[in-house]
């Protein structure tokens, strides 16, 4: 069976800029997806769905297997709690951690990571939100204006980067500079459905705009052949 799988999916070099979210109901399903994707993916996102079960055990196992891990916990609490939680997570050896883009929260997370290699990413505006959604929530500015303000605040707080839709990636790159991390969810290839992403773009467009990493989920994990879909996305990314 292993030999047949190897023939079906010959060895490929994964693109480290491609992050695949393991947004699946159970850790067992997530592990199965990792096995299916094999050598086509080297960077995984573990989000709240798995956080509610045994997501940290999965994250540690992925690190042991030589993968990079993005903890998409979106921490948001009083500064002391965020700092302490970040300090604990920094000891896991994981690579990225998200926090909400509020000045006190971001500064606390930066303090909490200490001298570890954990990268703190500030969530600017969720990619599922449109300008109309923000108005309904009580904001009196567009998504782009709010993203710009939060990028400035993230830089001031010492964050390593931001989570930004592909449409604000160029802005984040311009403000943050060459080494600033710009991680873009809401990435949908032309051949995939947009689903609930209000501000989506293709992998190629996101990278050209300034993204350092892209998060691409359902076009890969919901495909009939996830391994082939991941390779297809990586091939599109190779143009940048």
List active site positions: 74
SS3 194: coil
Give the C-alpha separation, 62 to 44, whole Å. Answer: 8
Tokens 């605040």 identify what position? 153
Query: Residue 92's CB: how many other CB atoms inside 10 A?
Result: 16
What distance in Å separates the CA atoms of residue 94 and residue 59, rounded to the nearest whole number?
Answer: 7
- CA separation for the pair 118, 221 (Å, rounded): 26
Contacts of 211 (CB under 8 A, 6+ apart): 17, 164, 166, 169, 173, 182, 183, 184
Burial of 210 from C-beta contacts in 10 A (0-12 / 13-18 / 19+): buried
> Which regions of 22-64 does DSSP assign to beta strands (E)?
43-46
């Amino acid at each position: 069976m292993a030999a047949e799988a190897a023939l079906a999916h010959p060895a490929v070099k994964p693109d480290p800029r491609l992050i695949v979210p393991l947004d699946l109901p159970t850790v067992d399903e997530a592990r199965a997806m990792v096995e299916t994707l094999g050598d086509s993916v080297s960077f995984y996102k573990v989000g709240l769905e798995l956080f509610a079960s045994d997501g940290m055990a999965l994250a540690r196992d992925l690190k042991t297997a030589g993968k990079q891990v993005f903890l998409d916990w979106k921490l948001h609490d009083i500064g002391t709690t965020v700092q302490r939680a970040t300090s604990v997570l920094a000891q896991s050896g994981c690579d990225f951690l998200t926090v909400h883009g509020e000045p006190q929260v971001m500064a606390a997370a930066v303090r909490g990571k200490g001298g570890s290699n954990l990268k703190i990413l500030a969530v600017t505006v969720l990619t599922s939100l449109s300008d109309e959604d923000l108005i309904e929530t009580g904001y009196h500015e567009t998504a782009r204006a709010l993203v710009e303000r939060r990028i400035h605040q993230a830089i001031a707080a010492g964050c390593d980067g931001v989570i930004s839709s592909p449409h604000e990636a160029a802005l984040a790159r311009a403000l943050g500079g060459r080494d600033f991390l710009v991680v873009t969810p809401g990435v949908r290839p032309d051949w995939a459905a947009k689903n609930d992403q209000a501000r989506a773009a293709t992998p190629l467009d996101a990278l050209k705009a300034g993204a350092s990493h892209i998060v691409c989920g359902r076009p890969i994990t919901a495909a009939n052949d996830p391994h082939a879909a991941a390779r297809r996305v990586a091939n599109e990314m190779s143009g940048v």
